A = this chain, B = another copy of it.
Amino acid sequence: MERPRHDTPGRILDVAERLVQERGFNGFSYADVAKELAISKAALHYHFPGKAELGEALVERYGVRFEDALAALDARDIDAPQRLRAYAQVYADVFRDERMCLCGMLAADYATLPDPMRTRVVRFFDDNEAWLARVLEEGRAAGTLRFQWPALAVARTMLAGLEGAMLVSRPYGDLKRFRAAAAMLIDGLVVDRADA
């Protein structure tokens, strides 16, 4: 049951994930992954029958990891504004090594994706929006956040803003650009202590 010494499937996913985040699902090949790991293309097909299955495994693992990260944020004893900032930091960490959010990238490639991948990408967005909406509601109830629209609509705008900030900032390779946008998206909702 324990992880084998080499864990080839895991290493394949690691390389493929990075390639997709950097170049898109149509911007890498089995040969790219095989070359980088110094194994044969056939070995990839042994572990993942086709690109569709590899893609599925990729987005599934990414989704689970994100869920775990959100659960870890829930476990921290911080207020809603801090929770939103910690959430944005997760994105900043992804951005730092010149990667786009995996699901943001796959949203761009959406028209060319096999159906199972599409379903999983949409679920990723749904989950994130639901999590954000819950934090927003909690913040509003606690008086630490203020906004006029339904929490889900605000959540969607925030998710779109963060994904878009990654997308547009990446050509500039500028983390500060991303951070500034993230800060504005969040601070616009935070109740200033000097306020009413």
A interface list, Cβ under 8 A from B = 22-24, 26-27, 98, 100, 104-105, 107-112, 118, 121-122, 125, 148-149, 153-154, 156-157, 159-165, 167-172, 177, 180-181, 184-185, 187-188
Given A23-B111, A164-B162, A157 and B171 contact (CB-CB distance below 8 Å): no
Please name all residues of chain B whose beta carbon is closer than 8 Å to the beta carbon of A177 when the two chains form the complex. 156
- Of A24, A162, A169, A185, which is in contact with the most chain B CB atoms at under 10 Å from its CB? A24
- Is A149 in contact with B184, judged by CB distance below 8 angstroms? yes
Residue among A112, A154, A160 having the largest count of chain B Cβ atoms under 10 Å: A160
Q: A159-B168, A161-B161, A164-B164 are in contact. Are A108 and B100 (CB under 8 A)?
A: yes
User: Considering only CB atoms, which chain B residue lies closest to A165 in the complex?
Assistant: B160
> How far does the alpha carbon of A163 sit from the alpha carbon of B161 in the complex, in Å?
8
Quick one: closest B residue to A110, CB to CB? B171
Mostly, the A contact residues are helix
Contact B171 A156, beta carbon cutoff 8 Å: no
Known: A157-B180, A160-B165. A172 touches B112 (CB 8 A): no
CB-CB < 8 A to A109: which residues of B? 23-24, 27, 108
Q: Knowing A105-B108, A108-B108, say if A181 contacts B168 (CB, 8 Å).
A: no
User: Which residues of the partner chain B approach A172 to less than 8 Å between Cβ atoms?
Assistant: 122
Nearest B residue to A178 via CB reads B160
Query: Top 6 nearest A-B pairs by Cβ distance?
Result: A164-B164, A108-B108, A160-B164, A160-B165, A26-B26, A163-B164
Complex CA distance for A77 and B143, rounded to whole angstroms: 41
Residue of B nearest to A106 (CB): B171
Smallest beta-carbon distance A15→chain B, Å: 15
What are 14 A-to-B residue pairs whose CB atoms are below 8 Å?
A22-B111, A24-B26, A26-B26, A27-B111, A107-B167, A108-B109, A108-B167, A110-B171, A121-B171, A153-B181, A154-B184, A156-B180, A157-B165, A157-B185
